[in-house]
Amino acid sequence: MLLLNATFEPLTALPLRRAVVLVVCGKAEVVHGDPAGSVVHSSTSEVVVPSVIRLSSYVRVPYRGRVPLTRAGLMHRDRYRCAYCGGRAETIDHVVPRSRGGPHTWQNCVACCAKCNHRKADKLLSELGWRLRVVPTAPRGPHWRLLAGVTDADPLWLPYLGEPAA
């Protein structure tokens, strides 16, 4: 479940149980329900399972530093496409290999298909005559910190994250 601040700013992803507790206690309201129409039942009431909830009162968010580099975040940034051939990406590759002093940063890591990753091995792009389809950069924006830690973001969250639907 996606948790939004009172201003509709994305805050975090929550487990179902925590989201339902916030809604039942009146601390949050359902913005977008589950399309499957699932319902959580108790002895006295029932609650529609939410996909997106919004806090009733504003919560001040402390300063957030750089977005951490995670597999989920990198795959999302590259839209699960190989940086070399454009195919479906399953692995992560360091443009300048770690064995040659390449850092583990957003600017040096790309999503890659297994075939290209195996062919590239620990070579430089100039040695193979390859080019990157897109120059890798560190992501920006409030939603990236959230997406870096979520492996499978619900497509219903995209309008609230300020992204176009893919």
pLDDT, one tens digit per residue, over 134-150 is: 999 988 766 665 655 55
Q: pTM for the whole thing?
A: 0.60
Helix ranges (H only) for 25-128 are 71-77, 114-120, 125-128
**Same domain membership, residue 75 and residue 49:** no
Mean pLDDT confidence for 69-95: 93
User: Domain limits at 7?
Assistant: 1-59
pLDDT at residue 98 greater than cutoff 90: yes
**Same domain membership, residue 143 and residue 72:** yes
Q: If DSSP codes are grouped into helix, strand and coil, which group holds residue 117?
A: helix
Is residue 87 one of the residues assigned to a domain?
yes
137: buried, middle or exposed (CB in 10 Å: 19+, 13-18, 0-12)?
exposed
Domain total of the chain: 2
Is residue 131 one of the residues assigned to a domain?
yes
